[in-house]
Amino acid sequence: MRLLPEAVIPARVDRGRILPAFLDERDQPWLHVLIDEVDRFRGRPLRELQQRLREPLPCATPHFKSRAAVRLLLRLGSAEITSEVSPAAAREKLFVEAAVQTDTPRGSIVAAAASALGLAPAALERALFADLPGERVFVGPESFPPPHELALRVNQLIARSLLFRASRVRIRAQGALRPVVRQAKLRGLICTVEDGDPPVLDLSGPYAVFRRTLLYGRALGELLPFLAWCARFELCATCMFRGQEAELHLQSSDPFFPASAPKPFDSKLEARFARDLKKAAPDWDLVREPEPVRAGGTIIFPDFLLRHRLDPSREFLVEVVGFWTPDYLQRKFSLLRAAKLDNLILCLDQERACADGDLPTGARVVHYRRRIDPTAVLRAAGHAL
Amino acid sequence: MRLVFDQGTILLVDAESSAALADLPGALWDPRVRALRCPARFHQRLLTELGQRGVRFEDEVAGPADDLPALRPTDLRPYQEAALAAWALADRRGVTVLPTGSGKTRLAIAAITRLRVPALCLVPTRVLLDQWARAMRECAGFAPGLLGDGEHQVEAITVATFESGWRHMRQLGNRFQLLVVDEAHHFGTGLRDEALDMSIAPMRLGLTATPPAGQTAARLTELIGPTVYELRVDDLVGEFLAPFDSVVLHLDLTPAERAEYEGLMATFREVLRRFRAVDPGATWQEFARAAAKTDEGRRALAAWQRSRRLLAFPCAKRQMLANLLARHSDARVIVFTADNATAYAISREHLIMPLTCHIGRKERERALSLFKDGKLRALVSAQVLNEGLDVPDAEVGIVVAGSKGEREHVQRVGRVLRPRPGKRALVYELVVRATGEVQQARRRRNALAA
């Protein structure tokens, strides 16, 4: 998604806090007019539409909000080159011809080049720059979204454009937090979790400890759609906005466009494990993404909960660890010991381990290579019973 | 203790006492991972410092090593040899200042072929990405990896755009020993400085024709090194750069244009005057932002933009350009404009090839090749030809208007200074009387003379 440049983001800073100007129902009249106006320019050069949109609409329009909406509307459509000959070919033929005939009038040169291309001179003139962005013909989408939906989409764009300027984000959220943590880690962010009710995620990039940087803004902004699936969230981002550091606060009640649901499995490996376990052990239920577990001041996000159907007290947590070092495991196990959590089974990828090392004794560990064997997991569980 | 590369930084893992090491160069305590962390560029200094203190450690920072391609030796001109020697004497950390057209790319390629170490070259634009790759093939017989413009192929010697370098240095920062920074004056302002901070490369070579001053220069010294060698256009004119004449042509607006210009500027100046009265120290960006909030302010900004468009190509410039193109119909000419719209207008009117950001890579290369062979007589460009792009020999430059000040002008003039026996280049500047252009032209000439 192409974000809004800083200068046109509808937001202001008041006493160190960024106040985004989100669109609401009061904006719907002018959004309606704007959509109609853009729709009217289907089949015409983009330049004409852009020129029209620089002029005022026949109703009161908030300047920055409307510019954000225009950007979004133009992105929903596309622009096509319509010329009888490739513009690049037209340019080469004509300009090379002009270099040869320096004393010939312009019209004669155009006529000669057009004739060589089998075109009328006017068609050559039309083709000459038909590939420039403004000369392409605007092709809208099949239908534009209704004003209320457009408003939500613009709000999403505003929020992500602001988050792009963030160096650190703190999120207090309830439910479905795991996809957020997972996505943050995939994007190379450091994610620390403070215990609390609800827990607080603190997200930033490694380099952010040295200076305010926009390096991680895109990654932080990309987490927003995943937050929409938390039951409730409050987000506080530290941003560099218009030359100053300011805080952005967002929450689940803000009017955003709902993102598509997170994928049920993060990887094929996990999906396959779920399938295999169902076949191999029909007596066990597998719960995807169980509630996070508190462990010694932090929180663990298991991938699965294994529960015996006849004896629900036999319950195990399973975490798939793709990339690990002995240090990491030592820390993890000492955390589990401190939290007296002895029913967590770690599945370790043998291929991706970056070093060998002794595992702590008594640890419930299953090694896998490309595929997690469900019977090995059950063995690890049974062994401890 | 172990030193580990972590996304453009170095983590000091398993330290016996982090407190005793907290004064290491660049080190900060990172409470998120409970370890000391440094920007990667401090790697070499960390090794030295830890060695001096007798601290036992394992250095696990270096990334995977790619095999170097076969490199052909690169010959240099005497002043390029001198520049390279000065850089070597400065511990291979520093900026060389050489005029446009004096062969900075070749200098960098020679540094790479002689040192034979993994090297990453950062270049400002996608256009220059191609050009560097071509120069490496032609000068030293190898094809580098490319990062940017849709390419993502990392080799022992790689060329990356600034933007891609900035985005990917987290993953690449431990793979190169030498960092070459083309048009190095773009760094030091904070924008994308992380790209240089996140690399461990102990050897750094900056290239520029227009070094920055003040705080930016100081920051550039931290990130790359000090200026180690400097030559100006005058030092090379004659033997290595063509001598040139600069002609400023003062032109008048038509009465109708003058009336329109004055009207537009009156609208603009009134709003600016009132804003300045309240906030005399405000920047242009702050003014533009404040003005955009009111109808009157927006009218003022629109008036200012229209005045710029008017000055970009008024009747007198149009007429003069036609005369100059006719007068130099036998020469290869480059026309410089302030914006793309004027470049296209000139292209359409005079049937000369535009080179803008909208012209794709294949067509651009084809156009430069046709220009070199004399099959295209002129090129018109707003910004693409400003910086770095190696343009075939041209004798005449016509600056219809500029938008980026003195630095841009120095680069533009350099485009027509490629030497040839008997050549004397000619640079025309078209300036509208009694407008801001007169002052701009004076500043440009001063910059060129500096």
In chain A, what are the domain boundaries?
7-81+135-151, 87-129, 164-251, 268-384
Cα→Cα distances B419→A137, A140, B84, B229, B245, Å: 45, 52, 22, 22, 14
Cα→Cα distances A61→A23, A52, A107, B156, B374, Å: 12, 14, 46, 54, 54
Instruction: From chain A, pick out residues whose CB is under 8 angstroms from the CB of B366.
Output: 92
At A385 the pLDDT is 37
Residue range(s) of every CATH 3.40.50.300 domain in chain B? 78-231, 244-252+314-449
At A140 the pLDDT is 84
Kindly tell me the burial class for residue A60, based on how many C-beta atoms sit within 10 Å of its own C-beta (0-12, 13-18, 19 or more): exposed
**pLDDT one-digit tens code per residue, A70-89:** 999 998 888 899 888 999 99
User: A209, B37: Cβ pair inside 8 Å?
Assistant: yes
User: A63, B288: Cβ pair inside 8 Å?
Assistant: no
Instruction: From chain A, pick out residues whose CB is under 8 angstroms from the CB of B362.
Output: 88
| CA-atom Rg of chain B in angstroms | 25
Let me know if domain A268-384 sits in CATH 3.40.1350: yes
User: B9, A207: Cβ pair inside 8 Å?
Assistant: yes
**pLDDT one-digit tens code per residue, A86-127:** 999 999 999 999 998 878 899 999 999 999 999 999 999 999
Q: Tell me which of A106-110, A293-297, A358-362, B291-295 is least confident.
A: A358-362
Query: What length does chain A have?
Result: 385
Contact A97, A45 (CB under 8 A): no
Q: Tell me which of A34-43, A61-70, A283-292 is least confident.
A: A283-292
Q: Rounded to the nearest 10 degrees, how much is the dihedral formed by the CA atoms of A268, A270, A276, A281?
A: -170
Report the CATH number of the A164-251 domain. Answer: 3.30.70
**pLDDT one-digit tens code per residue, A132-167:** 999 999 998 889 999 999 999 999 999 999 999 998
Contact B332, B377 (CB under 8 A): yes
Contact B445, B399 (CB under 8 A): no
d(CA B193, CA B158): 19
Of all residues in chain A, the one with the smallest CA distance to B371 is A96
Phi and psi at B247, nearest 5°, equal -120, 120
Task: Identify the residue with better confidence: B377 or A327.
Answer: B377
Task: Identify the residue with better confidence: B368 or A355.
Answer: B368
Residue A48's pLDDT band (boundaries 50, 70, 90)?
very high
Asked whether the ipTM of the predicted complex exceeds the cut of 0.85, the reply is no
Helix (H, G, I), strand (E, B) or coil at A180: helix
DSSP letter for A223, please.
Answer: T
The number of CA neighbours under 13 Å toward the Cβ of A138 is 21
CA B13-B14-B16 angle, to 5 degrees, is: 125
pTM above 0.80, yes or no: no
User: B360, A91: Cβ pair inside 8 Å?
Assistant: no
B356: left (phi over 0), alpha (psi -120 to 50) or beta: beta
Which of A290, A283, A263 is CA-nearest to residue A345? A290
The stretch A343-366 carries a mean pLDDT of 69
Nearest CB among B32, B351, B378 relative to A94 is that of B351
**Long-range contacts (CB closer than 8 Å, 24 or more residues apart) made by B34-39:** B35/B11, B36/B11, B36/B12, B37/A206, B37/A209, B37/A210, B37/B6, B37/B9, B37/B10, B37/B11, B37/B12, B38/B9, B38/B10, B38/B12, B39/A207, B39/A210, B39/B8, B39/B9, B39/B10, B39/B197, B39/B198
Contact B245, B426 (CB under 8 A): yes
Any CB–CB contact under 8 A between A323 and chain B?
Answer: no
At B162 the pLDDT is 95
Topology (CATH level 3) of domain B78-231? Rossmann fold (3.40.50)
**pLDDT one-digit tens code per residue, B170-229:** 999 999 999 999 999 999 988 889 999 999 999 999 999 888 888 999 999 999 999 999
d(CA A50, CA A70): 9
Q: Residues 356..375 of B with a Cβ closer than 8 Å to A: which?
A: 358, 360, 362-363, 366-367, 370, 374-375
Assign domain B2-60 one CATH number from 3.40.190.10, 3.60.21.10, 3.40.50.720, 3.40.1170.30. Answer: 3.40.1170.30
Q: Please list, in sequence order, all residues whose beta carbon lies within 8 angstroms of the beta carbon of residue B208, skipping any fewer than 6 positions away.
A: B95, B96, B97, B183, B184, B185
Residue B387's pLDDT band (boundaries 50, 70, 90)?
low
Residue A297's pLDDT band (boundaries 50, 70, 90)?
low
d(CA A173, CA A199): 7
Superfamily of structural domain B244-252+314-449:
P-loop containing nucleotide triphosphate hydrolases (3.40.50.300)
